[in-house]
Amino acid sequence: MVNLLSTIKNIIKEKRDLPFSVYYSIKEQKLLNVPIVKPLLIIVLNGDKKLGKDNELICHAGDFIFLSTSPTINMRNIPKDNEYFALLIEFDYQDFTGMAISASNKQDYCLGKTTATLEKCLQQFVESSLWAPEQLWPLRKREIIELLCHMGHKEILSMVGNPKVGHRLHDMFCEQDFHQLTIENICEQLAMSESTLRRKLRAEGTSVQEIKDQARLGLGLHLLQTTDNPIALIAQICGYQSQSRFTDRFKRRFGLTPSELRKTKMAD
């Protein structure tokens, strides 16, 4: 794991687009109601990660957890030897195309050990981000999925499901300007009427505003964890007209302010 950790640290210094994310802290992070929008693989490389309402799921360094989509999950990132460090790989639904998806016996998570074989696969995946064009990233992600299945973790195939209208709308909000994406734009891009859109979202137990709020705050959390951008800039990127409004909504969702989260990544 030492080589993988070292490689990742060197690559993220280049400040380039990558097919993975890294969450790092030197103080404990306690986050409430974190949304998992797409199937997510988290490999803990240093420290401990605890998940669930009562911290019932525990990942130590060298463990991984594969998470199904979920509107909210509580997390604690706990440093060891002054550092928490985790590699996160989010999967798109098309990454599972052609695989034997199992809709029955759906599971919410899969815990496992990062074996030497999986570590080597992850090492190659991370290193390929330096030379592989973005069009090849799904192929490398697919290798990880197939290796996990080969290792006996086929339950991850039950976590995929079919992409919903809400998932497509979430992607639209994250990929386009939050200020400019109106209900008319949304309906035009989805090729459906406003009444049909609202009916489909209601059937999924959500709404346009709920998805927008989740997308904005989820993006804000991600940017706070992965960039050094000023909080005011992050608030603007996420579609908030003021930093104070962003701070208020962020704390209500996650249980701490953006500044408090930033302090977990900074030495006193």
Please report the DSSP string for 187-254 in residue order. HHHHTS-HHHHHHHHHHTT--HHHHHHHHHHHHHHHHHHH----HHHHHHHTT-S-HHHHHHHHHHHH
Crossing angle of helices 165-175 and 183-190, in 10° steps, is: 120
Domains and CATH numbers, the chain: 2-159 (2.60.120.810), 165-263 (1.10.10.60)
d(CA 206, CA 210): 6
d(CA 46, CA 220): 24
Other beta carbons within 10 angstroms of residue 100's beta carbon come to: 8
pLDDT per residue as tens digits for the range 26-63: 999 999 999 999 999 999 999 999 999 999 999 999 99
pLDDT per residue as tens digits for the range 179-219: 788 999 999 999 999 999 999 999 999 999 999 999 999 99
What is the model's pLDDT at position 135?
A: 94
pLDDT per residue as tens digits for the range 87-109: 999 999 889 988 877 666 778 99
Amino acid occupying residue 11: I
Which residues make Cβ contacts (< 8 Å) with residue 203, sequence separation at least 6? none
pLDDT per residue as tens digits for the range 111-159: 999 999 999 999 999 999 999 999 999 999 999 999 999 999 999 998 8
